[in-house]
Amino acid sequence: MKQKVKATVVSQKELVKGIFDLWIKTDLAKEAHCGQFIGVYTKDSSKLLPRPISICEVSDDFDALRLVYRVTAENSGTDLISKLNAGDEVEIIGILGNGYIFTDIFGESLEKSMDSNVVLLGGGIGIPPMLQAAKELSAHGIKPTVIVGYRDSNMFLNQDLTRYGTLLIASEDGSVGTKGNVMNVVDKLDKKPDIIMACGPMPMLRAIKNYAEAECEKGHEVSAFISLEERMACGVGACLGCVAKTKNVDEHSHVNNTRICTDGPVFDAKEVEI
């Protein structure tokens, strides 16, 4: 159930320029899973709507949430959030959205999927959700291959990700890992993915959807689950401000659209047109 509550800032630091790492203490952590997000309010009365931020990690005690986010502009909502210090109170709403639901991805028994090659793909600020996904998979005995893409050598969360899977890196300028993007690394894998879980910019998600469709046409079934990044207003499905085209008719709007904030942000790539 969605709740608007007050959380307490545990810590905040800047990982690399413009990317902040925020831990907040909240009972909502008990309900959080990989791929979901929360809305974070600022104290600026001119910014009434919360800023949607993906859940990067849930604490081992299930009493705190880690949010790793990018500051979009000076005096923006995320800029104001980046000024929070340990001990500050912050209002949040959550837990929001549908994340990576393992029973949908693997079926009722995860043990049957132990031999599947599970690959997590994260690009840019789509990297943070992959940490909790890898952490939850690891808790189920599944060690994924995690492929992340950066612009350059200014990496973040790379050390954290190595705790839960095999990490491979791509960079646009070739300064670390494979030069190019995450799909260039996928093409070099010894074993092709059976299951892909991904978050990142739209061109990356389109490439993943096309890759999965092409592999299926070749006779290799690839299931791809993608988290759509979209600007959101209300975050609870009322405003219809964040929609994607889908094969199914939405019960709320009665058209072939789906609300990313409530029906997603994670979708089976076969079900959305991007």
The CATH number given to whatever domain includes residue 107 is: 3.40.50.80
Instruction: Answer yes or no: is 37 within a domain.
Output: yes
The total domain count for the chain is 2
Whole-number Cα distances in Å, 217 to 102, 179, 211: 25, 28, 10
pLDDT digits (tens, 9 = 90+) for 128-183: 999 999 999 999 899 999 999 999 999 999 999 999 999 999 999 999 999 999 99
pLDDT band for position 245 (cuts 50, 70, 90): low
Residue 265 included in any domain: no
Amino acid at 82: S
Do 214 and 122 fall within a single domain?
Answer: yes
Residue 169 preceded by cis peptide, ω within 30: no
Provide the CATH number for the domain around residue 66.
2.40.30.10
> How is the beta sheet containing 37-40 ordered, strand by strand?
51-54, 37-40, 89-96, 3-16, 19-25, 64-70, 57-58
Q: What is the pLDDT of residue 263?
A: 74
Range of the domain at 38: 3-96
Please tell me what DSSP assigns to residue 154: -
Residue 272 covered by a domain? no
Same domain (yes/no): 91, 130? no
Q: Are both 72 and 92 inside the same structural domain? A: yes
Q: pLDDT tens, 95-120? A: 999 999 998 888 766 665 667 899 99
Which of 247-251's residues contact partners 24+ apart within 8 Å by CB, and which partners?
A: 247/271, 247/272, 247/273
The CA-atom distances, in angstroms, between 55 and each of 58, 69, 98 are 7, 10, 12
Which H or E run includes 25? strand 19-25
